[in-house]
Structure 1
């Protein structure tokens, strides 16, 4: 009998029963007031008159009217770069202990995003709240006695002057609560290994010694880790070595493109729970099994604003025009994509994180991530967002009985002077590229009326190239680094796409 598991599960259920339900709108008003009060004496707070904003009758309007939008380049140039020189009290009190390195999906150059102690505390609290939400899922008591595999970047953080640097997954893993350490795998020693291949090999070597009940990480790298364990131990599926694996906590990218290939590694179905943890903070997590949407963390260190995702508000580079209107949680609507804007306890202010979201339940503040502002494909008026691309790829998987875990696309002008959507799809099966191209085109015409209009005008057609999925992982390894928070760029500009095609040719 799972005595400890029953105790933990019972505590979680009791905690959920007696917890008062958060009013997201009121919680957000309180978060904004706390952020402004805490930072009013920083350089940023004095420059933008936080004291005056706090005295306003309409705090949210005064805040949005006084402070401009910041993307990473703007806030780093004007404010965060001073932190690299050791300055204190710049955009948040004190000096951050950590900086999260993030190249995202756009290139080799790492961003350095401050991670304060307040943000570490906020991430821990959001994680605890997510654990409490497991009471809504039908999990057996013994699940709460099993170990948890967290596969992120190395926890061996690098010293740089008076702070430590690493990817956010490595920073958070190095700050796990003491009571959680006995559950945490692969453990401190293996987690410190910087070389991805060596770390995964060590995981495979030790896999038989662990009783894993849950795994967490970016889908593409989790898949590679599971494949390595299966291959190393000559298994048919991962449940032959981890029979009690019940939960996968996905994050970083949409899970849907990986769903079919991921399930092929399992012996039986498991519960998949989506999370939204970025370098800038823990934004949202799936709080109930009836939906795959995630609930915004509205009461814990992050204030959210939302800009309608319309071409007239977004520049070619994905940043917002200064006049783009922002609304609060109180005024959002269903069936509308928004550019997400955040202000946080790490000193990010009206910060364009680069993601687009859509609300599925306004009362619960539940969202889905629909894509990236930089990955919005509108070169010839097609207005394709990543979620529409993901949906089309799922339909291709069904139509051709195949798995397509990776893809990238470019609106490219070919030799005839016409624009085509050039797709590279990662598949193991021997498919007819022309048939796949026609089916993909048809799916998108049905899913997106703007795409259908573009296909009758400026967009000449679709060209599909089928390649080994491993080439995508090698591209990431060559351009960034294996594992961790590294994600494949779904949409490339023509210059980047030319580099991609040269790289693909070199792998043939």
Structure 2
């Protein structure tokens, strides 16, 4: 048994036994109070009366009553634009060191989200918590001596005025602790590369030099990287070159749609641990092996609220109605979809992050991501969430023995009648009508609102199958490869027309 690995594993086990955890509900009360105390002298805190909120008998209720919801555009236009001009004490004391650039999945231009030194500390502390949680998983002691390959965006940060800008994965990687640098791959030189294809090609060439025990990154880009390594070395699977690979830390999107295709790149099963790292912070991670759900990080600089995900509370642009009720962690229920609202040490306040979640265990504060507010397809009352879509597609994978790692769809009008037109990324040839019928049946069975819509305004389902690589090229054309880039699952008719033209162009090459 490796001595160093055994020492590290023992230290992790001991830390877990010695450090008692407060209840998530109590932790959240303390976090909200801390946020309000620290920001009460800022322009935002003065405008919304944080000092008075702190005097209230019920601080959570007073906070919700006095501070409105903000989506990115409102927060940026009214407050963060002042921060970008160099003004101090706007939504958080002082100035942020960084701005995280995020194009998201629906926006036309990059968002710039402030990242303070306190947020960097919070992300780092959550990362340490996640490493500590490895004690709950069955990994050998020598795993702790292996290297970790983190596939993210470039760590080269652009200086804009007095701030450094980049994607959150690049900002986080540029702030890794000194003691971790010996384990970190692909190393600083490769991590600085901005061209994703060049970065992956270099990783493939250098792969034999490393003893990788863990991978970390978004599933779609990680899968492409692994394929490139396998192809470059002319091997059957990734374990031929990294035999000690035991863990994959997934993030950004749900891993389940990629599970089947991902596993085909392995010689043996590995432990997959889900994480929830967004441009706004490190929100949750999978703490134990008995579930694929993630535990909200309730004690490290983020306060959470939850709005029931109902059509009457969602505006057409995906923002929230100010009349929508917000629940605290003490009020939520299991298996109910909620819009996630956060307030953070980076000066985001009652901020609509754009994701929907559901609790799988309220007491443990464990959640699963169920979709995006803008990816809620309800053009004709079908009320389809991304989670329902992905569950149905997993059924299609099993039924037809195929892999569908990518998809998108839109409600389109043909001869004055609405259809759901799906594009499925698969390398397998399959009858489109047959899978359209099966997909339609699965959605009817899983979602009563969809079933009602199909009997009325929604005429039918159309399916087009394409090579999954076309989805990656679409992302490359519209944004860039790698990093935090994710495929939009639902498009409006205008964007869908652009998408279809792009697909035809790619297929004609």
Structure 1-normalised TM-score?
0.99
Name the SS of the counterpart of 1:504 in structure 2: helix
Distance 1:498 1:83 in 2: 38
Indicate yes or no: 2:18 matched with 1:18: yes
Q: Deviations over 1:273-303 (max 9, x none)?
A: 0000000000000000000000000001000
Give the unaligned 5+ runs of structure 1. Answer: none
Distance 1:276 1:168 in 2: 12
Structure 2-normalised TM-score?
0.99
Distance 1:43 1:492 in 2: 37
Q: Deviations over 1:373-411 (max 9, x none)?
A: 000011111111001100111111111111110000101
Match of 1:29 in 2: 29
Name the SS of the counterpart of 1:384 in structure 2: coil
Q: Deviations over 1:336-376 (max 9, x none)?
A: 10000000000000000000000000100000000000000
Match of 1:253 in 2: 253
Distance 1:360 1:182 in 2: 37
Match of 1:327 in 2: 327
Q: Deviations over 1:387-441 (max 9, x none)?
A: 1100111111111111110000101111x21100000001101111111111111
- 1:82-97 aligned at under 5 Å gives the runs 82-97=82-97
Q: Deviations over 1:177-219 (max 9, x none)?
A: 0000000000000000000000001100100000000000000
Match of 1:302 in 2: 302
Name the SS of the counterpart of 2:424 in structure 1: strand
Match of 2:469 in 1: 470
- 1:75-224 aligned at under 5 Å gives the runs 75-224=75-224
Distance 1:315 1:426 in 2: 30
Deviating above 6 A after TM superposition, structure 1's stretches of 4 or more consecutive aligned residues are none
CA RMSD of aligned residues (A): 0.6
Match of 2:56 in 1: 56
Name the SS of the counterpart of 2:202 in structure 1: helix
Match of 2:457 in 1: 458
Shift of 1:108: 3.5
Match of 1:271 in 2: 271
Distance 2:428 2:360 in 1: 35
Contact 1:107–1:480 at 8 Å: present in 2 too?
Answer: no
Q: Deviations over 1:76-123 (max 9, x none)?
A: 000000111111111001111100000110134000000000000000
Indicate yes or no: 2:430 matched with 1:398: no
Match of 2:67 in 1: 67
- 1:229-248 aligned at under 5 Å gives the runs 229-248=229-248
Shift of 1:465: 0.2
Match of 1:429 in 2: 428
Distance 2:73 2:235 in 1: 47
Contact 1:249–1:275 at 8 Å: present in 2 too?
Answer: yes
Distance 2:501 2:22 in 1: 52
Name the SS of the counterpart of 2:330 in structure 1: helix
Name the SS of the counterpart of 1:507 in structure 2: helix
Q: Deviations over 1:213-257 (max 9, x none)?
A: 000000000000000000000010000000000000000001111
